Chains A and B, each alone.
Chain A
Amino acid sequence: MLIASIAAISLFALAAPLAHGAWRRGAGPLLALGVGSVFARLAWVAPDVTAGAVTLERFAWAPQLGLEVALRLDGLALLMSLLITGVGAVVLLFASASLRDHPALGRFYATLLAFMASMLGLVLADNALLAFVFWELTSITSYLLIGLDHHRAEARKAATQALLTTGAGGLALLAGLVTLCEAAGTYQLSELVTRAEVLDHPALTPAIALILAGCFTKSAQFPFWAWLPGAMEAPTAVSAYLHSSTMVKAGVYLIARLSPLLSGVALWDSSLVVVGAATALGAAFVGSRQTYFKRVLAYSTVSSLGTMVMLLGLGAGGATAAAVFLLAHALYKGALFLVAGVVDHATHVKDSERLGALWRSLPITATAAALAGLSMAGVPGLLGFAGKELWVKESLHALQGGWTPWLIGAVAGAGALNAAMAAQVALRPFWLAAPSSAGAHAPAKDPAHAHGPAWPLWIGPALMALAGLIGGVSPGLFAAPVALAAADAIAGLSPGAPGAADVPLDVGHLVKPGPALYLSLGAVAAGLAVFALRRAYRAATRPASALDPLGPQSAYAAAYSGVLGTAQAITRVTQNGSLHFYLRVTLGFVSVVGWGTLWRAWAGASEPIPRTPVGPIEAALVAGTAVSVAAMVLLRTRLAVIAALGAAGYCVASLFAVYGAPDLAMTQFAVETLSVVLLVLVLYHLPRFPVFRLTAARVVDAAIALSVGALMSGLVLLAAGVQLAEPVSAYFSQNASALANGRNVVNVIIVDFRALDTLGEITVLAIAALGVLALLDVRAERPGPRASAPGQPADAHPNPAHAPADGALAGRAPTIGGPA
């Protein structure tokens, strides 16, 4: 069933463009229906899961790598997968209307469904590597979704930022998961969390740090949250789905998934609490100063994610609170995002301060907004209240566990500012009077929307807001079982065991006088006060913007330009276009490595260097070679240098002749002669070499060249002295005549014993001939006399040196598809 769910949604993704092509308007609802059926299927088994049944499905994938398609449905996975498919169906419906005229709607459906399948896979995966696979796929699909309107530079920039941030985190996560799983000896998550012995492993600390880096980037924690507000460049449907209800919860999900093992480890707990609290308060502060719908929602989302992360650091009680909060948040924030979408669709206004009294034209939407807003603010009677109440309670509880009182301050502040933000987006535009300023928009002015939005637009927020209400009023219906089953899974309690499931969520139990209640009601009140005095509040907090250079966006920008700047600087030095530099580095490397190793080899060698008598002929030849070589370095005319090259070659050839290699000598004489003739033919017209001067650069060059030359001398002496084994060539001498019918052993080697070498050799020769012809014949530049063929375009470049590299081909060919 689990694999079938993922496969079904993947199939929808593949079919979506076709469906969109075939049915246009009908495709969205149809796909939503498909996803809805997956939701229904999951909901059907929900009672079993909440009762403790765990579904397992396993298929082999790449056992060599520990990669297995292992899927597991427990309480936590159930909560997440219901959200993914449920919110997903609603969002598809919403998108089918809000993006009705978008040119890329088919591709949008496909990408969104691909994301949905990945997300579902992530929460169902029981194999760490499989989870990572899906994790990465959510990053990629999210990249494509944020960049849906890619003609806009901001959209592309936001997409890249999201990709890089979550991508970097993903790679950290991979390293962390592999480290942890290798230490534990299993890649199966349900098995991993039982391996308590890994807690003593030295790799635990880096593994935790890396895994948290992955989770914090994905869930937009401080200081990595900058990408999430940017991601609001995506269409609202995407923001509602990815960036509030599902993908950003992936990090929270994974933390929760590993909690049974790692909860209780000091580093893990304290990181979660500190980072979570900082994020909750920091993002709430930034968000409370915004007025644009989606910006407010984005920062409040970040703040809520911080809340969940913080709660996961607070042990078993925190797990329950986190699960409830997660569910509540998904419902109200998803609803509010869609509400923002409806408003945008109806009014094309994005600033909540410029709107008012929308309840008249958008009554259902306004109602949904009100319910969701109340839930977000934490007003009793809604599911959000339960989440918030448990949060406050657990924080107070943590205070007894030794946490600093600052924590309570952060919680209270975040709670208050979230309430203010709820009022800003759910109250201000709908239920307060329209601002009197000229920029105010009333939707009635737009005749196209005078009759209110189409049903696919408002049905989503209405359903989600309603769910939040039902969850608050009657938690036993669905909210409590699902959330508490998830909490059990997070706390690592075996399914069915007594535990978190005992925590009552209904209002009657939660509304009990005590510090928790006072604190949370106080926070709501403070939030409303902030909202009421928002102009003064914003003015008073303006100095805080001085901290922006220390904020997450600046951190991202600094990291981005820091890495690229380093890359630029290094590449400018290394790949600087100077062949001379390349040669120096290459030869310098040879010299260093060669001498570094030859030195040790010399030290270990005791063999004498063989001495052969030096006759006058050899002495003359050696001297002749040396003089020719010196001449090549010193002479300045081309012809002289070429002549010296020839002389050196002749001397070497004569040495070969003296030492018993007549074939070699003959060949070298012939080749040397030909080389000189060809060099003269080819180079005849070129000018003299530049003047010889003794410069510092020349000295360095000489030192490098001499060093490599000396290295070669050293190698020769070593090889001439040391003989580790008898040469194989005795075989050739013995068998050349008898078995190969030739008395000239060298030639027999060439054409028989080692004919394959010679085959390669003549191939090289043939290639060189073809190459010379190609160089001279195939010409893309410099229209010479041959170029003036009829039909040649007249706009041939007058100055060949400045002709573009991909210029027209001269000669018999039309043009060459050359490089640019």
Chain B
Amino acid sequence: MTWALALLVGALYSAGLFLALRRSATKIVIGLALVSHGANLLIFTAAGLVRGLVPIAPLGSDSPPPGAPDPLPPALILTAIVISFAVTVFSIVLVKRLAQQAGTDDPRLIGSHDA
């Protein structure tokens, strides 16, 4: 399964970055959202996979069952998810405002002052 998830991480990054290279600011933002999915899955997979147990201590017990998955990666990913959500929402509104002003969301048509 590690192999499969590793390839999936690669697929998420590849597709996300490929979208970021397209002629649409919308696709860029969506692609970056996909990249952050990839990063989350990467953290998750890199730390090791455990199936069927949760890192929650059962009632009456002081600690989760032995062999429960590492609780830290989910906590880190939780933070990362919220952050990437916040960034995605902001960026998509940015793209919308840009598209409203420029009449297109093609970065090749709008981003030219920098040349």
Interface size class of A (residues with CB under 8 A): 35 or more
A671 to B85, CA, bound (A): 7
Chain B residues positioned under 8 Å from A719 (CB to CB): 46-47
Within the complex, the shortest CB–CB distance from A294 to chain B, in Å, comes to 44
Please list the 6 inter-chain residue pairs (A to B) with the smallest Cβ-Cβ separation, ordered nearest first: A709-B14, A713-B10, A577-B115, A768-B86, A719-B46, A705-B18
Majority secondary structure, A binding face: helix
The interface centre, meaning the residue of B5, B38, B40, B64 with most chain A CB atoms within 10 A of its CB, is: B5
A336 to B39, CA, bound (A): 77
Query: Are B62 and A737 closer than 8 Å at their CB atoms?
Result: yes
The interface on chain B, measured as residues whose beta carbon lies within 8 A of the other chain's beta carbons, has a size of 96
A285 to B38, CA, bound (A): 74
A307 within 8 A of B: no
Within the complex, the shortest CB–CB distance from B40 to chain A, in Å, comes to 7
The interface centre, meaning the residue of A619, A710, A714 with most chain B CB atoms within 10 A of its CB, is: A710
Within the complex, the shortest CB–CB distance from A748 to chain B, in Å, comes to 8
The interface centre, meaning the residue of A609, A611, A682, A727 with most chain B CB atoms within 10 A of its CB, is: A682
The interface centre, meaning the residue of B10, B53, B107, B112 with most chain A CB atoms within 10 A of its CB, is: B10
Query: Are A626 and B79 closer than 8 Å at their CB atoms?
Result: no
For B24, the closest partner residue in chain A by CB is: A689
Q: Mark contacts of A641-652 with chain B using CB atoms, 8 A cut-off: 1 yes-contact digit, 0 otherwise.
A: 110010011001
A611 to B97, CA, bound (A): 48
Chain B residues positioned under 8 Å from A667 (CB to CB): 78, 81-82
Within the complex, the shortest CB–CB distance from A745 to chain B, in Å, comes to 4
- Which of the residues B13, B48, B111 comes within 8 Å of A708, measured between beta carbons? B13
Q: Mark contacts of A361-379 with chain B using CB atoms, 8 A cut-off: 1 yes-contact digit, 0 otherwise.
A: 0000000000000000000
Q: Mark contacts of A771-782 with chain B using CB atoms, 8 A cut-off: 1 yes-contact digit, 0 otherwise.
A: 110011000011
Chain A residues positioned under 8 Å from B86 (CB to CB): 764-765, 767-768
Query: Are B55 and A745 closer than 8 Å at their CB atoms?
Result: yes
Query: Are B71 and A630 closer than 8 Å at their CB atoms?
Result: no
A781 to B15, CA, bound (A): 35
Chain B residues positioned under 8 Å from A717 (CB to CB): 2-3, 6
A-side residues, CB < 8 A to B, are 572, 575-580, 583-584, 587, 609-615, 618-619, 622, 625-626, 629-630, 632-633, 638, 641-642, 645, 648-649, 652, 655-656, 658-664, 667-668, 671, 674-675, 678-679, 682-683, 686, 689-690, 701-702, 704-706, 708-717, 719-720, 727-729, 732-734, 736-738, 743-746, 749-750, 753-754, 757-758, 760-762, 764-765, 767-768, 771-772, 775-776, 781-782, 800-801
Query: Are A732 and B87 closer than 8 Å at their CB atoms?
Result: no
Chain B residues positioned under 8 Å from A662 (CB to CB): 54, 56
A659 to B72, CA, bound (A): 13
A714 to B3, CA, bound (A): 10
Q: Using known A-B contacts A612-B2, A767-B86, determine if residue A704 contacts B17 with beta carbons closer than 8 Å.
A: yes
A701 to B22, CA, bound (A): 8
Q: Using known A-B contacts A690-B23, A710-B10, A720-B2, determine if residue A661 contacts B54 with beta carbons closer than 8 Å.
A: yes
Within the complex, the shortest CB–CB distance from B76 to chain A, in Å, comes to 8
Q: A641-B27, A717-B6 are in contact. List 12 more A-B contacts (CB 8 A).
A: A578-B115, A579-B107, A625-B12, A655-B44, A671-B81, A682-B92, A683-B92, A689-B27, A716-B6, A717-B2, A736-B57, A746-B71
Q: Mark contacts of B72-101 with chain A using CB atoms, 8 A cut-off: 1 yes-contact digit, 0 otherwise.
A: 111111110111011111101111110111
- Which of the residues B28, B79, B95, B101 comes within 8 Å of A782, measured between beta carbons? B101
Q: Using known A-B contacts A577-B112, A782-B101, determine if residue A720 contacts B45 with beta carbons closer than 8 Å.
A: yes
26 A-B contacts (beta carbon < 8 Å): A578-B107, A584-B21, A638-B26, A660-B51, A662-B56, A664-B74, A664-B77, A686-B99, A689-B22, A690-B24, A701-B18, A706-B18, A709-B13, A713-B7, A716-B10, A716-B42, A716-B46, A720-B46, A733-B55, A733-B64, A737-B62, A745-B57, A754-B75, A764-B82, A765-B85, A768-B90
Q: Using known A-B contacts A641-B27, A716-B46, determine if residue A768 contacts B87 with beta carbons closer than 8 Å.
A: yes
The interface centre, meaning the residue of A610, A659, A750 with most chain B CB atoms within 10 A of its CB, is: A659
The interface centre, meaning the residue of B62, B72, B114 with most chain A CB atoms within 10 A of its CB, is: B72
A434 to B78, CA, bound (A): 95
- Which of the residues B57, B93, B114 comes within 8 Å of A775, measured between beta carbons? B93
Query: Are B59 and A610 closer than 8 Å at their CB atoms?
Result: no
A761 to B87, CA, bound (A): 11
- Which of the residues A580, A626, A652 comes within 8 Å of B41, measured between beta carbons? A652
B-side residues, CB < 8 A to A, are 1-24, 26-28, 30, 33-34, 37-38, 40-42, 44-59, 61-64, 68-79, 81-83, 85-90, 92-97, 99-103, 105-108, 111-115
Query: Are A758 and B55 closer than 8 Å at their CB atoms?
Result: no
Q: Using known A-B contacts A659-B44, A689-B24, A737-B62, determine if residue A727 contacts B90 with beta carbons closer than 8 Å.
A: no
Within the complex, the shortest CB–CB distance from A716 to chain B, in Å, comes to 4
Within the complex, the shortest CB–CB distance from A671 to chain B, in Å, comes to 5
Within the complex, the shortest CB–CB distance from A759 to chain B, in Å, comes to 10
Q: Using known A-B contacts A622-B5, A761-B82, determine if residue A659 contacts B49 with beta carbons closer than 8 Å.
A: yes
A702 to B89, CA, bound (A): 26
Query: Are B34 and A674 closer than 8 Å at their CB atoms?
Result: no
A771 to B68, CA, bound (A): 40
Query: Are B53 and A660 closer than 8 Å at their CB atoms?
Result: yes
A800 to B98, CA, bound (A): 12
Chain A residues positioned under 8 Å from B28 (CB to CB): 579
Query: Are A622 and B62 closer than 8 Å at their CB atoms?
Result: no
Query: Are A801 and B82 closer than 8 Å at their CB atoms?
Result: no
Chain B residues positioned under 8 Å from A712 (CB to CB): 9-10, 13, 38, 42
A733 to B27, CA, bound (A): 41
Query: Are B82 and A671 closer than 8 Å at their CB atoms?
Result: yes
Within the complex, the shortest CB–CB distance from A813 to chain B, in Å, comes to 17
- Which of the residues A576, A611, A716 comes within 8 Å of B115, measured between beta carbons? A576
Within the complex, the shortest CB–CB distance from A765 to chain B, in Å, comes to 5
A762 to B82, CA, bound (A): 8
Query: Are A801 and B13 closer than 8 Å at their CB atoms?
Result: no
A701 to B18, CA, bound (A): 6
Query: Are B21 and A801 closer than 8 Å at their CB atoms?
Result: no
Q: Using known A-B contacts A705-B17, A710-B14, determine if residue A737 contacts B89 with beta carbons closer than 8 Å.
A: no
Query: Are B63 and A737 closer than 8 Å at their CB atoms?
Result: yes
Within the complex, the shortest CB–CB distance from A475 to chain B, in Å, comes to 68
A745 to B24, CA, bound (A): 42
Q: Using known A-B contacts A737-B62, A754-B75, determine if residue A801 contacts B101 with beta carbons closer than 8 Å.
A: yes
Query: Are B79 and A750 closer than 8 Å at their CB atoms?
Result: yes
Within the complex, the shortest CB–CB distance from A564 to chain B, in Å, comes to 18
A734 to B65, CA, bound (A): 10
Query: Are A733 and B19 closer than 8 Å at their CB atoms?
Result: no
- Which of the residues A583, A626, A658, A745 comes within 8 Å of B8, measured between beta carbons? A626
Chain A residues positioned under 8 Å from B54 (CB to CB): 660-662
Chain B residues positioned under 8 Å from A764 (CB to CB): 82-83, 86-87
For A571, the closest partner residue in chain B by CB is: B115
- Which of the residues B27, B45, B111 comes within 8 Å of A716, measured between beta carbons? B45
Q: Using known A-B contacts A642-B30, A767-B86, A768-B87, determine if residue A704 contacts B63 with beta carbons closer than 8 Å.
A: no
Chain A residues positioned under 8 Å from B47 (CB to CB): 719, 727
Query: Are A772 and B19 closer than 8 Å at their CB atoms?
Result: no
